[in-house]
């Protein structure tokens, strides 16, 4: 299956016509900068308003989940919160697409099934990646959940919304903290397994950024990565998720994101600096023996998960190289 869609923005063509008419092809750089600032400010204002409106709608259900211990009530509240979360993403995506701020070109096997569970992973280059994934997969697969640093619970509005949506919060420890207290080693993986346990029997999509941080050439060189376009993948999170609910997943949704203009910041996205984004999706069956992976430390299972991930990562690296070559040709 091959799906592709783009939407051209309307600010840029209108702007170019007016600038060339009144200032000539090279005149108007000041106007262009002013336009970007204006578009960025208006975009940020709209996204903030949409977030506040959705939070107001979500808050009563979050309160219900917090105060009523009955499982049936909590399940009902979670379902309503998910619907509102999908609406929030849908409105954001429509707005960004309408203004030409985020134009996706989807390629590959794009899933269309809300009645199953998926393991999802992607390369990671920018904070924009989250919005790209939400835009590409919203209402095509069950609502995306990903692991969040525990400190982010205190982010105004969003922290409560993430909690109500059952996003797993994780406490990550530095090497120095683990050295002082060895009991903290592996605590994040244990938290991952415990968080996934409550998703058993539910249709859910679990997102992992296997690189653990955003890719830069400097980080790649510092880590001596064997890949040109990726950092070495970390297997622990995936193994923990597979250990907790591997048999529940229909398949792996392997997403590769490429920015022809290069990775951009969130503020650059809002001011029109991202342009077209290529999103390639591979639907990959999860080997049955890996779906029964045990906890970290059981060598046979652990090594096979690592080998599977490395194989997929090598293919992703080659795909990104081809995407770059095609972008240069254009």
Residues 20-63: pLDDT tens digits? 444 444 446 788 788 888 888 999 999 999 999 999 999 999 99
Residue spans of the chain under pLDDT 70:
1-28, 173-175, 177-178, 183-189, 292-301, 329-330
List Cβ neighbours of 244 (8 Å cut-off, separation of 6 or more).
192, 193, 196, 197, 199, 200
**Tens digit of pLDDT for each residue in 233-278?**
988 878 888 877 878 898 999 999 999 999 999 989 998 889 899 9
Residues in contact with 68: Cβ distance below 8 Å, sequence separation at least 6, in sequence order: 74, 77
Burial of 127 (0-12, 13-18, 19+ CB in 10 A): middle
Q: Is CATH 3.40.1130 correct for 102-329?
A: yes
Which pair of structure tokens corresponds to residue 147?
């692991």
Three-state DSSP at 121 gives strand
Distance (Å, rounded) from C-alpha 203 to C-alpha 139? 12
Closest CA to 245 of 290, 187, 280: 290
How would you classify residue 279: left for phi > 0, otherwise alpha for psi between -120 and 50, otherwise beta?
Answer: beta
Q: Return the percentage of the chain with pLDDT > 90, whole number.
A: 54
Q: Are 214 and 324 in contact (CB under 8 A)?
A: no
Q: How many CB atoms lie within 10 A of CB 254?
A: 22
CB 123 within 8 A of CB 320: yes
């Amino acid at each position: 299956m091959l799906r592709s869609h783009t939407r051209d923005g309307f600010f840029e063509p209108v702007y170019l016509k007016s600038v060339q008419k009144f200032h000539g092809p090279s005149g108007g750089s000041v106007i262009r900068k002013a336009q970007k600032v204006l578009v960025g400010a208006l975009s940020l204002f709209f996204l903030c308003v949409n977030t506040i409106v959705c939070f107001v709608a979500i808050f009563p259900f979050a309160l219900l989940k917090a105060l009523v211990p009955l499982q049936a009530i909590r399940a009902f509240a979670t379902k309503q919160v998910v619907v509102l979360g999908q609406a929030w993403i849908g409105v954001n995506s429509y707005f960004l697409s309408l203004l030409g701020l985020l134009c996706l070109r989807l390629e590959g096997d794009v899933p269309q099934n809300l009645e199953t569970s998926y393991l999802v992973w992607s390369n990671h280059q920018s904070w924009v990646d989250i919005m790209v994934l939400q835009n590409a997969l919203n209402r095509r697969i069950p609502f995306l959940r990903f692991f969040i640093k525990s400190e982010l619970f205190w982010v105004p509005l969003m922290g409560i919304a993430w909690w109500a949506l059952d996003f797993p919060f994780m406490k990550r420890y530095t090497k120095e903290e683990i050295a002082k207290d060895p009991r903290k080693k592996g605590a994040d993986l244990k938290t991952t397994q415990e968080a996934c346990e409550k998703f058993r029997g539910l249709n859910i999509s679990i997102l992992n950024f296997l690189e653990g941080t955003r890719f830069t050439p400097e980080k790649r060189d510092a880590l001596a990565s064997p890949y040109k376009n990726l950092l070495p993948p970390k297997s622990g999170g995936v193994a923990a998720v597979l250990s907790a609910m591997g048999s529940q997943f229909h398949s792996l949704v392997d997403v590769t994101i490429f920015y022809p203009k290069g990775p951009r910041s969130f503020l650059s996205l809002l001011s029109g600096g991202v342009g077209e984004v290529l999103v390639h999706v591979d639907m990959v069956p999860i080997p049955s023996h890996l779906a029964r992976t045990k906890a970290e430390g059981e060598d046979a299972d652990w090594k096979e998960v690592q080998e599977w991930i490395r194989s997929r990562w090598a293919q992703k690296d080659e795909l990104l190289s081809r995407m770059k070559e095609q972008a240069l040709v254009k």
